[in-house]
Amino acid sequence: MYRILIAENEPRIAEFIKKGLSANGYGVEIECNGYKTLLRISEETYDLLILELELPDKNGLEIIEELRGQGETLPIIIVSRRTDVRDKVLGLETGADDYLTKPFRFEELLARTRARLRSTSCSQLSYDSVLQVANVEMNIQTRQVRVNNQLIYLSTQEFTLAELFLRYPGQVLSREQLLSHVWGYDYSPGSNIVDVYVGYLRKKLGKGLIKTVRGIGYCLAV
């Protein structure tokens, strides 16, 4: 399992990212302090750092400079409210591998996370490239979905939602997990958009495939 450290000064966003990445099979830890972030990285092994620039005690750029100065090659994705092009250029030139501005959709962060991890290891890609449960087959690389060997069309949100179900067949996924994974933290927890899109998937993948777990969420039948 890949281990990811989130260095973030906004607890709500840190928990949002953690829930989404955990739901996708990653081991995730949170730190809100700059010096403690460096200490964790020196004492433990992580596969990726998701870094906010505005950390107390030591800002993100200083953390990157120190890590790269020590020869640390840990992939780093900056996630920041700084939207100026100069800030993005400075972050990348300092040694970050990617830069994502807030607010963002979780699916974009997930895609960038996978890209950074994929660059260091091909084993996870080969394992994840094709997902199949019952009569549904999904190819992550080509983004093609087949039901009973017949090609069907899924929108971006439908594809992302279906991928999560196919990665965790038989596991109950809460509406909150599905909402944060597909649509991001800017959607209200009271929104019924998850239920609407589950309805779309049932029509396209088969009515009996996605089960409702009353009061909790949904589960892909196996």
Domains of the chain, earliest start first: 3-123 (3.40.50.2300), 129-220 (1.10.10.10)
Q: What is the pLDDT of residue 15?
A: 92
How large a percentage of the chain has pLDDT more than 90? 42
| Listed ranges 41-45, 48-52, 118-122, 139-143; the one with the highest mean pLDDT | 48-52
Q: What is the pLDDT of residue 123?
A: 39
The residue-averaged pLDDT of 212-216 equals 87
pLDDT at 127 over 60: no
Burial class (CB in 10 A: 0-12, 13-18, 19+), 48: buried
How large a percentage of the chain has pLDDT more than 70? 92
| Rounded Cα gap, residues 64 and 54, in angstroms | 13
pLDDT at 50 over 70: yes
Token duo for residue 86: 């100069």
